[in-house]
Amino acid sequence: MLKINNLHAQVEDKEILRGINLEVKAGEVHAIMGPNGSGKSTLASVIAGKEEFEVTEGSVELDGEDLEEVAPEERAHKGVFLSFQYPVEIPGVSVTNFMKTAINESRKARGLEDMPAKDMLKMIREKSELLEIDRKFLSRSLNEGFSGGEKKRNEIFQMAMLEPKVAILDETDSGLDIDALRIVANGVNKLKSKENAVIVITHYQRLLDYIVPDFVHVLHNGKIVKSGGKELAMELEEKGYDWIKNEAVV
Amino acid sequence: MDLKDKLISSFMAFENNVDVEHPVHDIRSEAIKNFETKGFPSKREEAWKYTSLNNLQKIDFSIFPKQENTLEYKDVKRYFLHEIDTYKIVFIDGIYSSFLSETTHDGVDICLMSSALTKPMYKQIIDVYFNKVASKDESLTTLNTAFSREGAYIYIPKNKMPKKPVEILNFATGNEASLMLQPRNLVIVEENAEVQIIERHQSLTTNEVLTNSVTEIFAAESAIVDYYKIQNDAASASLIDNTYINQKGKSNVNVHTFSFGGKLTRNNLNFYQNGEYMDSTMKGVTILGEKQHVDHHTLVHHIEPNCESHQDYKGIYGENSTGVFNGKIIVDKIAQKTNAFQQNNNILVSDKATINTKPQLEIFADDVKCSHGCTIGQLDEDALFYLQSRGIPKKEARALLMYAFANNVLESVRIPELKGRINKLIAKKLGVNLGFDL
């Protein structure tokens, strides 16, 4: 489904990703772990198409199509979703209307009519219940004055609405208390299917107790230095990242 | 002959058509003398530093239309707030159109300045209010005063509120190659009365039009006035709007200015607070492109204690457009406990667009809260990426962010159909087809 080949990316002449190889198949959950500054968030942004990052070598392919020339919104239409580490506050645009606009723009791109208002409301109701989101919350301005937990829950709500093929969760666990973490993880698990894939970016093992990965990759210095099963995450939790860093140097 | 000379010599022709024995004519005669001495303002004056009237003065404007022109309602319907029922005071090339208007004398007077200035039954009110808050010194205001004859006259007696909003529409047909218009409006809202007014100037062709308008508003104790100015005129139309507001205690006057079009627009908006516990609100959304120019000059004079003023102007400037915001707040020594707020936020979406913004605070009292802030920036790239990553195309994402930026100014529009209209105008101006029912 998603294939990353020898990906190199830089921002303002500073190379951050130095040759990443990763293949994610439908139905899989991958976790990407690694110390601060290892390039995790950059990788997420590059997959979603942020223009600030320049891909200097390698490629990102979705279902065999090279995404290099594909704009962020078109990637979204094709099924890429990024749950932001720091969702942007947009005063003056309500959550509901933002979602309506996003869904109808995606439909327009696929040559479909706007979703009938009745269906839209039904979908919003179902998905907000899944994430235990209060209806009042939906009429508030997007992310404005939301707590950390509310922001993350809202990100997964958007994921539920947009039904992506590949969802990248960039540190979705940061800023969440244990109850919010459970709700968010539960939401992600319910959205998971044989047809889609999830990439979980995290520092800690904690989230992986709830969203159990098939594969764990350790990113260091812009490269995947170690891959393994879910037991690798436990090992990292226990020993920290230093032994990996040392191993990488060797 | 330059425009000033032409205007002065036209004054004699004007006098042949008005009652020179009426006391108002003394006011006109004084006013033309002031204009003759001062002439048009030049860029050497601080208040006109960024707005030049030189090019306009080179145009050979007709001072009066040669003939009476007519319009079919179906051809101009879209300029009316036709979704709801309104009173309408309509002028075509400066001349009242009874055909397009809907006036009333049913408990309130929503009618014509020409009647008010000539009929004996209005004389007492004219004596008390006419030219009492408008400047007797500022040259363009006095130019309008000199030629004051027609416009809207609105009188709302104590405790009354008209059944529906009032629209003042000034159409220019383009039957003259270039035409100068000088409407003069008078709005009197007595104690505890209320009114909603929508004003619009619309040129229907590409011929040059210059409108030099003066509106005087008197809000008595506890009166409420909502005034909406829609400035979305043709690229060959210029407007100098001089609005003077005299407020008394506990009154509430809100002026919204939506500037989306026109060649050159200058808004001189002046509030005088003669009483306590009142509120004055000035809000504006400016969205410009091409070589359009808008200059907002506001003045709030806090004369007595315990009053508030709120200013919030948002500007989005594209292409080669230029904008000016100059907000002056004067707090007199006795005007303690004044709360005066002023915000001017701007987004430049083109490298060639310019905004000059200047707060001007003159505070003589010591126990006041006055704040001002101005920002000039670009659209937030992170926010843009966030919206795009959800499938919203870049152009629409930009429009959405610009709309969101201006949105809080729209929140206080109290006529829902008008708000809907302005939303559509904004979407059109931003070149997107998004239903902004956000």
Distance CA B227, CA B261 (A): 19
Query: Of B80, B98, B94, which is closest to residue B164 (Cα–Cα)?
Result: B80
pLDDT at B332 over 90: yes
Q: Which helix (H) or strand (E) holds B178?
A: strand B178-181
Is residue B1 predicted with pLDDT exceeding 80?
no
- The per-residue pLDDT for range A50-93, each reduced to its tens digit, is 999 999 999 999 999 999 999 999 999 999 999 999 999 988 78
pTM given for the model: 0.86
Confidence of residue A205 (pLDDT cuts 50, 70, 90): confident
Is residue B283 within 8 A of residue B254, CB to CB? The reply is yes
* Statement: residue B431 has pLDDT above 90: no
Rounded to whole angstroms, how far apart are CA atoms B275 and A95?
A: 43
Q: Can you give the pLDDT at residue A250?
A: 52
**Dihedral pair phi/psi, residue B174, rounded to 5°:** 85, 10
The pLDDT of residue A91: 83
Task: Inform me whether the C-beta atom of residue B99 falls under 8 Å from chain A C-beta atoms.
Answer: no
CA–CA dist A213, A226 (Å, integer): 15
Taking contacts as CB-CB distances below 8 angstroms, the residues of chain B near A158 are: 390
Q: Is residue B435 domain-resident? A: no
User: Is the pLDDT confidence value at B434 over 80?
Assistant: no
- The percentage of chain A sitting over the pLDDT mark of 90, rounded to a whole number, equals 71
| Mean local confidence (pLDDT), A102-128 | 92
Residue identified by tokens 């492109």 is B289
Q: With CA atoms as reference, report the closest residue to A65 among A54, A74, A55.
A: A74
What pLDDT shows up at residue A177? 87
Q: What are phi and psi of B66, to 5 degrees?
A: -70, -30
Tell me the ipTM for this assembly.
Answer: 0.94
- The one-letter code for the residue type at B337 is K
Measured distance CA(B278)–CA(B248) in Å, rounded = 7
Is the pLDDT at B266 greater than 90, yes or no?
yes
Residue A162 belongs to what domain range?
2-249
- Asked, for residue B438, whether it belongs to a domain, the answer is no
If you average pLDDT over every residue of chain B, what do you get?
Answer: 95
Confidence of residue A161 (pLDDT cuts 50, 70, 90): very high
Q: How high is the pLDDT of residue A160? A: 95
Is the pLDDT assigned to residue B344 strictly greater than 90?
yes
Higher per-residue confidence, A37 vs B276 = B276
β pairing state of B224-231 and B194-203: parallel
Chain A: residue whose CA lies nearest to B380:
A88
B31-61 pLDDT, tens digit each: 999 999 999 999 999 999 999 999 999 999 9
Question: Among residues 386-415 of chain B, which lie with CB inside 8 Å of chain A?
Answer: 386-394, 396-397, 400-401, 403-408
- Residue that wins the pLDDT comparison between A244 and B400: B400
- How far apart, in whole angstroms, are the C-alpha atoms of residue A102 and residue B146? 56
Distance from CA of A92 to the nearest CA of B (A): 5
A219-228, A238-247, B417-426: which has the minimum mean pLDDT? A238-247
B274 in reach of chain A (CB within 8 A)? no
Domain total in chain B: 1
Query: Cβ contact (<8 Å) for A92 and B387?
Result: no
Mean pLDDT of B178-191: 97
Quote the pLDDT of residue B438.
47
Instruction: Using the predicted structure, report yes or no on whether residue B432 has a pLDDT greater than 80.
Output: no
**Weakest mean pLDDT among A88-92, B82-86, B99-103:** A88-92
Q: Which CATH number characterizes residue A78's domain?
A: 3.40.50.300
Cβ contact (<8 Å) for A88 and B382? yes
Chain-chain contact of A51 with B407 (C-beta, under 8 angstroms): no
Contact B404 A93 (CB under 8 A): yes
Mean pLDDT of B339-349: 96
With a CB-CB cutoff of 8 Å, which residues 43-62 of chain A face chain B? 48-52
Tokens read off for B376: 């000039």
Query: What's the total number of domains in chain A?
Result: 1
Q: Is the pLDDT of residue A244 over 80?
A: no
Instruction: Check whether B9 has a pLDDT greater than 80.
Output: yes
Over residues A80-107, the mean pLDDT reads 91
- Which structural domain range is residue B223 located in? 3-429
Which chain A residues contact residue B407 at CB under 8 A? Answer: 91-93
The answer to the question of residue B436 being in a domain is no
CB atoms B392 and A92 under 8 Å: no
